[in-house]
Amino acid sequence: MTPLLYFADVSFSYGDRVVLENIEFSIAEKSCVALIGPNGIGKTTLLHLAAGMLSCSSGTVWFNGSRLDSVRRMEAARQVALVPQQADVPFDFTVEQIVEQGRTPYIGLFGGLKREDRRAVERAMELTDITSLRNRVFNELSGGERQRVKIALGLAQEPRLLLLDEPTQNLDLGRRLELLNLIDSLNQEGVTILASMHDLQLIEGTFSSVLLLGPDHKLMSGSPEEILRPRILESAFDCPPRHRLTFADEPRVLLERKQ
128 in Cβ contact with 158 (< 8 Å) = no
Q: Minimum Å distance from CB 114 to another protein?
A: 14
Minimum CB distance to another protein smaller for 147 or for 209: 147
Minimum CB distance to another protein smaller for 133 or for 212: 133
By DSSP bridging, strand 161-165 and strand 192-196 are: parallel
Minimum CB distance to another protein smaller for 171 or for 212: 171
In this structure, how many other beta carbons lie within 10 angstroms of the beta carbon of residue 256? 11
Cα–Cα distance measured from residue 248 to residue 241, given in angstroms and rounded to the nearest whole number:
20
Cα–Cα distance measured from residue 115 to residue 113, given in angstroms and rounded to the nearest whole number:
7
Residues that bind another protein (CB under 8 A): 51, 53, 72-78, 81-82, 84, 86-94, 97-98, 101-102, 104-105, 109-110, 135-137, 139-143, 153, 157
Q: Minimum Å distance from CB 248 to another protein?
A: 30
68 in Cβ contact with 82 (< 8 Å) = no
Q: What would you measure as the largest C-alpha separation in the chain, in angstroms?
A: 66
255 in Cβ contact with 199 (< 8 Å) = no
Q: Minimum Å distance from CB 216 to another protein?
A: 25
Q: Minimum Å distance from CB 143 to another protein?
A: 6
Q: End-to-end CA distance of the chain, in Å?
A: 51
Minimum CB distance to another protein smaller for 107 or for 232: 107
Q: Residue 103 has what DSSP assignment? A: G
Contacts with 164 (C-beta within 8 Å, 6 or more apart), sequence order = 83, 151, 154, 183, 193, 194, 195, 196
Q: Minimum Å distance from CB 234 to another protein?
A: 32
Minimum CB distance to another protein smaller for 107 or for 239: 107
Q: Minimum Å distance from CB 97 to another protein?
A: 6
Helix (H) or strand (E) holding 165: strand 161-165
Minimum CB distance to another protein smaller for 102 or for 224: 102
Minimum CB distance to another protein smaller for 133 or for 211: 133
Q: Minimum Å distance from CB 149 to another protein?
A: 11
Q: What angle do CA 212, 214, 219 make, to 5 degrees?
A: 55
